[in-house]
Structure 1
Amino acid sequence: MHRTTTLTDRDVLAVGQPRRTMPARSIVDGAQWAGDDQQARAIVAAGFQQRIVAGDDLHLVVERLPRVRRRQLILATAADAAGGAHSLAELDFLGLIRRAGLPEPNRQKVRCDSTGRRRYLDAYFEQWGVHVEIDGGQHLDPRAWWADMRRQNDLWMVGDRVLRFPAWVIRAHPDEALRQILGALRAAGWSG
């Protein structure tokens, strides 16, 4: 159990019982009380991924609180998550390409597949037609795997390049992932 001495009316849900904090405040509290930085980042990213919060929701909460533990981490993670990095692996990927000096891709780019359904591309280097998909464990289910392949085939048919990485490769073998991303970007005309 955690207690707080700073709880404004904006932080408390006005309906229902028991009284509870608003989602953005709950996420900030969860992140600052998390056991480590990775867990804190995961809490923030999950809030955006599940569309519990959006935009500047967490920034507004942090501005109201005088002593937020992990303030910079929460704000940086919220900015990246609001921009479309919705998992730890996607946040790690974003850090990897920034450290390497690569151009920043669009994140969670919306496109319609061949059946007309809206799909979200994890990372899309639009100028070069290079997609990077970062797959968590749910992608191992045969139906999910086939859906991924079908979407990938749709992208290949229009001439784009698609790179897929399991989340653990981004964390455990970032140099290998980076070599492949660099190779795809260069093959597509990037000269950086």
Structure 2
Amino acid sequence: MSHIIEDGVEAGTWNKYESRNPVQRLLVRRFLDTLRELARSCAADCRTALDVGCGEGVTTALLRDCGLGEIRGVDFSAGILEVARRRNPSIPFERLSIYDLGEAQRSDFVSACEVLEHLERPDDGLDALARVCGSHCLLSVPNEPLFRGLNFFAGKYWSRLGNSPGHLNHWSSGAFRRFVERRFRVVDIRRPLPWTIILARPK
């Protein structure tokens, strides 16, 4: 699919999950395998799940198959949610900004994969996730500066020194852990090249 720009923001994950580059496909598969492993480890404690910034519903479908119970997806982009609904007709999706999450979205398991690096107000975004998380929170961001370096040496985004369009925040694994610990207790941290994935519980 072609990518979608909405409200001046690039929506979705079109350039990651649909890449034909064999190296990128391998990296993405390892990323998804790690998400799956961590999500399954929470299944016994969870009856409801919420995928925040769900994009086309790739991670939403993955989480649905991990035994987390009833799952929903939310995203700010109406256009990208049309894609998610076509691909996953059995999953309910809602147009909603991360900043507007409230009691109606409260779930045992909350995920925000490849979301926080795009936010103009990441602290507010993290607060919103903590507000609706009942038991476990799964978060992922690019591991910087490694992510940008790999982009640059692959010939991507040279004029931006390897920075992917829409990435406003850049964390190393250690910096991201410290950021998350402001509102959560970190249970596990994984580093499938070139990402950081954290499983956490609300304080």
Q: Same fold (TM over 0.5)?
A: no
Q: Using CA pairs below 8 Å that are at least 6 residues apart, which structure has the higher relative contact order?
A: 2
Higher helix share: 1
Higher strand share: 2
